[in-house]
Structure 1
Amino acid sequence: MTSALLIDDHAMFREGLALALRQAAGPSLHLRTAAGGAEALALLKDATADIALMDYYLPDLGGAALVRQLRRAGAGLRIMVLSASEDQEDAEAALAAGAHGFLHKSADVGQLLDAMRRVLAGELVRPPDSPLPASLAVLSEQPPGRLTPRQTEVLCLLCEGLRNGEIAERLATTEKTVKAHISAIFAALGVVNRTQAVLAARRAGLFGKPR
């Protein structure tokens, strides 16, 4: 029997897909559901799963950040991302973070079950014509693990579009100090400008969906 965990915040999609999977797979599939990343991680503390099927953009914790936390939460857990996103960079960031597959939500149940079987067998399932450039692996690294708490605060404010002077005022520090933090952030993330830093944070699912 295969144990699966379906993570999606849209109740109608989640319940409909769960019903379709149970009908198609029968008793060979034990399926639980979660409405968000935090709920999924809580479930995995009490029970194991063979595979997680996760939406990429979730209201609490999602994206590459959730992929990494799921990897840490369950030894041997396979992760399949189900997303309506047409953005190739989303697929690349998810795979770079450790997902074992990325499937568009337009797939039918048969295609999903086939992808699940392939992922469980150790294959990597990716969208057609989806390369995985090394640069994406850098952009999808986990910022919190590599930045100080203050640098993470600065990165968050960068994501809000604040200028250096505004960040300095918000954090009650000097603009010179802010510039030093930003230089350290660029070095830690392997990026060269503010736009890349913001994309790195958002692709990792830390501060909301990329704009």
Structure 2
Amino acid sequence: MPGPALLVADDHPLFRAAVLHVLHERLPQFRTLEAASAATLGAALQEHPEVELVLLDLSMPGARGFSALLHVRGEFPGLPVVVISSNDDPRVIRRAQQFGAAGFIPKSAPAEAMGDAIGKVLEGGSWFPPMAAERSEADAELASRLAQLTPQQFRVLLCLADGLLNKQIAAQLGLAENTVKVHVTAILKKLACYSRTQAAVLVKSLEADNGL
């Protein structure tokens, strides 16, 4: 099995290159992998169980706000995720923490701070900038409800949020239409939603903060 790896998920090649440079300098014992979208992130994690930490930009193609973070945390609960974002608003930092991130690094942070943060998380700790935002009970409840979904149900939920019909979801995810119907029923029950529209609004709240 290959040696331990770190995965950088960001759709900006120049920023990815800058992060990889920091990782090679500070953590040469790790191999590095890259992903530029939510889909390639998921595929890379399935293909590389040796990944020990994910550095995640929230605004990649295929991600809705915090959806990629929630998806990784749901599918790989033992894998720490450090969010890297250009939006370091205290509420965004607090939400990332409540949705399961082990750390948050503003993109404006110097390379030294980035290296320190990653090292601390790899040791089992966490790293967040000082925050003024209060903990949100609504976000805590939302995270708890979404945590009940299986990874496949989470994928179906994101398709629901895009307004896709069961038939379209089945085609997109390679499932039988009846299987999608069963998933939708389970999703609505777990999220305590009475309609597909209400479930879609719930997903929309994951991207309520602009500039992620």
Residue by residue over 1:4-53, the C-alpha shift from the partner in whole angstroms, topping out at 9 and shown as x without a partner, is 1000011111123213321x225312111100121011011111211000
| CA distance 1:156–1:74, change in 2 (3 Å) | closer
Contact 1:63/1:94 (<8 A) preserved: no
Match for residue 90 of structure 2? Answer: 88
Q: 1:72 is aligned with what amino acid?
A: G
1:203: Cα distance to partner? 4.3
- 2:112 counterpart of 1:132: no
Q: 1:135 is paired with a residue of what secondary structure?
A: helix
Range 43-52 or range 91-100, more displaced: 91-100
Structure 1 length-normalised TM:
0.66
- 2:36 counterpart of 1:32: no
Q: 1:76 is paired with a residue of what secondary structure?
A: coil
Distance 1:64 1:204 in 2: 6
Structure 2 length-normalised TM:
0.66
- 2:88 counterpart of 1:114: no
Q: 1:34 is aligned with what amino acid?
A: A
Range 24-33 or range 45-54, more displaced: 24-33
Contact 2:6/2:32 (<8 A) preserved: yes
Distance 1:115 1:78 in 2: 12
| CA distance 1:109–1:29, change in 2 (3 Å) | farther
User: Which consecutive aligned stretches of 4+ in structure 1 deviate over 4 angstroms post-superposition?
Assistant: 143-147, 208-211
Q: 1:132 is aligned with what amino acid?
A: R
Distance 1:26 1:127 in 2: 22
Residue by residue over 1:55-111, the C-alpha shift from the partner in whole angstroms, topping out at 9 and shown as x without a partner, is 011121253221122123335211000000133222222211111111111112211
Distance 1:6 1:62 in 2: 18
Q: 1:126 is paired with a residue of what secondary structure?
A: coil
Q: RMSD of the alignment, in Å?
A: 3.4
- 2:106 counterpart of 1:68: no
Distance 1:98 1:110 in 2: 24
Choose which of 4, 7, 11 in structure 2 pairs with 1:5.
7
Match for residue 175 of structure 1? Answer: none
Quick one: percent identity of the two aligned structures? 25
- Structure 1 residue runs without a partner (length 5+): 158-183
Q: 1:81 is aligned with what amino acid?
A: V
**Count of residue pairs the alignment pairs up:** 171
Match for residue 47 of structure 1? Answer: 48
Distance 1:65 1:115 in 2: 23
Contact 1:100/1:119 (<8 A) preserved: yes
